[in-house]
Chain A
Amino acid sequence: MLVDIANLHVAFPTPSGPAMAVRGVSLRLGQEKLGIVGESGSGKSLTARAVLKLLPGQASVTADRLSFDGIDVLTASESTMRKIRGRRAGLVLQDPKYSLNPIMTAGDQVAEAWRAHKGGSRKQARAAAVDLLAQVLIRNPADVANQYPHELSGGMGQRVMIAIMLAPDPELLIADEPTSALDATVQAEILRLIDDLVARRGMGLLLISHDLPLVGHFCDRVAVMYAGRIVEEVGAGELARARHPYTQGLLRCMPSLAHPQATLPTLVRDPSWAA
């Protein structure tokens, strides 16, 4: 098991007592594609970040088990975590505009990631960077390597982000809304790229998204989160037959090209879902 989480709780202190953001999440991930779906505030990003021990300092994290490839993340030291982060588990974030360094060229940023984890000379790193940019299907990798983030489109920037994540050959890729800042056309290309890379390199993938149909298409399994809990876990192909009323409600309230309806059903939240 690449990731093994049992009964994870994340809480934040507030003046009126701790706010429970994640409440008893358990999931396991091997070399497969697992999607976590839920709305803002459901705890999906916190769950993924807990795996890399990347939660803000004031967060209190408890779990019966929280491990990455057998390493106990809860008790791991910062130096142990540094060997996991980036090197063994990469994190791709939502918006390349904010995650890339605006005053470094794309090539330098990929080369920096490669060198930090693999060592080697500047020249080797540079060559590796161009090769990685080619792997993320950038047609003119040598030119793009010399460009700054503001000269790149959103889709191109996200490819560069993925190239940076791939540099150290990670075993796990955590993608937190990797395409929600992108166009539908570009979104499909990036997902196809991630899919291809995950298959070719035999990586595990944790894909976090609020887009249920998208995750259903793309992942092997989907965990649906609501108010800090996983309310349902289904095989991606069975999403249309989901049983939990929250999942069903989410699927119904989306406008669809195939099934037009005059008024969209809205989600009536049953307090028992969050209980």
Chain B
Amino acid sequence: MLRQVLAVTRINLASIPQRFWLSLSTVVAVGLVVMVLLSFLSMAAGFRRTLASSGADDVAIALRAGARAEVNSVIGRDQVRLLEDAPGLVRDAQGKPVSSAELYLVVDGIKRSSQTKANLPLRGIGEQGAAVRQGIRITGGRMFAPGSNEVVVGKSLLREFEGFELGRTVRLASGNWTVVGIFEADGSVFESEIWADLPVVQSLFNRNNVFQTMRMRLTGPDALTQLVAYNDGDPRLKLEVKSEKDYFADQSSETSDLIQKLGWPLAIAMALGALAGALNTMYSSVASRSVEIATLRAIGFGGFPAFVGTLVESLLLAAIGGVLGALFAWLIFDGFSASTLGASFTQVVFSFRLTPGLIGQGIALALVVGLIGGLLPAIRAARMPIVQGLQG
């Protein structure tokens, strides 16, 4: 039986060149389906990873209740003071908590790719602003000096937007600021931000004594519960306190869900189109080999080898298409840098990420197309009456 299957499969595959263009069109159609799917999935994965890597478990963030995003939030100086006394925070030798009250403002920048204005976040951070976050490294220049008109910019922001090179002067609000440093933040969303000293930002933007969020380093896994209880128990606070990780996960889910919700239906719709092409190709394949199939049947071959041979041909074409699609998607999209508006109404720079898992999904979709596209024609091949086949 195995020998029969192999013999028929060989006949199938050898006949592909007779239908070269039709077979090629199936390969290309499947490949394009996989490319479209993977472009969307890698976009969603890249965006999600950027935001996921932004949030730490052991950092709590406090926002105004209902604000949902940093840009909307407002908290006052009194609330900042109350939070500084909260339980569960990591404190230094003097008993000061490792925390940073921050101001998050939106300023204009010019996007390199489109040369249009885009919203960039300017974050005024406290003394501990860098320490409260993990993985912040100055890769060029130095940190801004407290009390000065100096900024440091994230390396993603530098890549996507114009005019923030080291040493350049940028005009933000009524003041000129000098870019004195470039920083990395483990590929997180902070790399899309401009950082400056909080008091300077407050004064130059007429926001004295106004804060938007407070970040606090927590002592351990239970600390968040203590902090939340402390917040809920004080009527002067009534803020929304959650882990930074949860905050960014909420933000990423909307956008990446949207991208995925667009990507899968589009890919499935296109897969239906490609499936029509695959069925067409395989029915033609069966028709063009009807004499060979009937001859083999007449000399004693069974119907099963004809079935397998057709299915293998279909799966092979789809697999080639899937691998090519994944390969091109990887060449074109993996690492591709893009930016879009995030939940805080500012640009989030992220890179497309094509993971092996996603490639697996793409090739699986290709094989499903190949399987369904081959199944019905394979059944026809197996059931073909010998006499009719012999007549051609």
* A and B are partners in one complex rather than unrelated chains: no
Q: Which residues of chain B have a CB within 8 Å of any CB of chain A?
A: none
Q: Which residues of A come within 8 Å of B, CB atoms?
A: none
